[in-house]
Amino acid sequence: MKNTMKIGVMLVLVGVLLAGCSNVFHNGTEMTVTQVKVTGVPANPYTSTVKMVFSYDTGSGWIHDAANKAKFDSAMYQASRAADGILTYTFSPALVITTPTLKFLLIDTATGWGTFQLDKKHSGKQGGDATLDNNWSAGQKILGVVSGDDVTWSYE
């Protein structure tokens, strides 16, 4: 009876562990992103007429690479600054990230990246790609906060 009980408990534990790593919340191989929002985006030079593209490293190239032109041109990856200084991308279906880190930047569709680029900075000084660790979970929202020339990125 004792051995049967031990085996039963072990089977339950193994089942819980396997379910925890293969369900919609965490499968250990991908993360999904449903939204990217940046607050405090200055009106100059980021007017509401400037379309910005969320470009990220897919693991086999960036959205702004020539091979991914269809994605770069897609409305799914584009947004403009709202009157309240917020730039929001909503992804439906969610972006699937399979790389260990999410490297990204926001650039304008006209590729005037010396002026219109949000990464670790917002002034076009090219502060470097924004990078977040992949936390391997579903439905992530990313928040960028502009303060001075710096942009701080985190999960919301």
User: pLDDT tens digit string along 11-62?
Assistant: 444 443 333 343 444 456 799 999 999 999 999 889 999 999 999 999 989 9
**Closest to 135 (Cα-Cα) out of 107, 116, 110, 154:** 154
What tens digit of pLDDT does each residue of 75-84 get?
999 999 999 9
Q: Strands, E, within 2-149: which ranges?
A: 31-39, 51-56, 78-80, 87-97, 101-108, 117-118, 130-133, 140-147
- Does residue 4 have a pLDDT over 70? no
- Per CATH, is 29-155 categorized as 2.60.40? yes
The 10 Å Cβ neighbour count of residue 82 is 11
> Tokens 């693991």 map to which residue?
59
pLDDT of residue 126: 67
pLDDT range class, residue 73, cuts 50, 70, 90: very high
- Does residue 1 have a pLDDT over 60? no
How far CA 80 is from CA of 8, 66, 96, 109, 153, in Å, comes to 56, 22, 23, 11, 18
pLDDT of residue 110: 82
Q: What are phi and psi of 10, to 5 degrees?
A: -65, -40
What tens digit of pLDDT does each residue of 133-154 get?
998 899 999 999 999 889 999 9
pLDDT of residue 115: 74
